[in-house]
Amino acid sequence: MADTPIRLLIVDDHNLFRQGLIRILEDFPQLAMVGQAADGAEALAAVEAVQPDVVLMDLNMPVLSGPDAIRRLNASHPDIPVIILTVSERDEDLFDAIKAGARGYLLKNVGMADLIDAVQRVHAGEAIIAPSMATRLLDEFRKVADQAPVQSLPTEAGDLSQREVEVLRLVSQGLPNREIAAALNLSEHTVKSHLANILDKLQLRSRAHAAAYAVQAGLVRDVQTGR
């Protein structure tokens, strides 16, 4: 990871939790606390004022919810990733956050080391989902795949190289770039390059969309059955 501290904005409507989290994270040199906000509306203003690298945001807040704030933030600052940090384990909340554009979804019982690692990985371009929620997201992708006709798949799929297909399969299993790199004996930079090519060729917007596409195309089932 980069030596320069990651500029972090904390957004949570519970003042005690927010202040406590800030005090804890201030002790870690990898991070720099540059601002805080109590709701989504304040978060949008804070982003303009402090220009954070990553936003750590609660889900359910007054004035403007986490997903609504993410949609507006993505429209104005698509380069600033948001990680949802919440107590909610509801499938609907997870799906709403991902659809809104969240790059991560973590539960508030996450360990501090895992939280810092998640911030660093999202800042590096990865997507992070709490392990207990990741299976639910994949199950939802499978439902979409089962309901969608095969002929609706983009014709550009045939343009993928064999290596790009391998990367896409591993992305669909939720592996981060560094684990994909290790599995395929590649550098992380090469994995990122392959992923960028995949998104471009398939006309997809994000890693999550690529994972959904892989399920719809049958790549996940191929991995599980060995075919």
- Using CA atoms, how far residue 190 sits from 41, 54, 150, 210, in Å, is 38, 24, 30, 17
The torsion region of residue 215 among left (phi > 0), alpha (psi -120 to 50) and beta comes to: alpha
Confidence of residue 1 (pLDDT cuts 50, 70, 90): very low
Q: How confident is the model over 64-95, as pLDDT tens digits?
A: 999 999 999 988 998 899 999 999 988 888 88
Average pLDDT taken over every residue of the chain? 83
* Sign of the Cα pseudo-torsion (188, 9, 80, 6, in order): negative
> What contacts 89, CB < 8 A, 6 or more positions away?
107, 132, 133
Domains of the chain: 6-129 (3.40.50.2300), 138-221 (1.10.10.10)
Fill in the amino acid letter for 80.
I
Rounded distance, CA 160 to CA 219, Å? 13
Answer with the residue of higher pLDDT: 162 or 48: 48
Q: Which residues of 23-61 are buried (b: 16+ CB within 10 A; e: fewer)?
A: eebeebebbebbbbbbbbbbbbebbeeeebbbbbbbbeb
Token readout for 187 is 């550098």
Confidence of residue 18 (pLDDT cuts 50, 70, 90): very high
Confidence of residue 53 (pLDDT cuts 50, 70, 90): very high
Answer with the residue of higher pLDDT: 214 or 118: 118
Please report, rounded to a whole number, the percentage of residues in the chain having pLDDT higher than 90.
42
Rounded distance, CA 55 to CA 58, Å? 10
- Which burial class, exposed, middle or buried, applies to 198 when counting CB atoms under 10 A from its CB (0-12, 13-18, 19+)? buried
| pTM listed for this prediction | 0.66
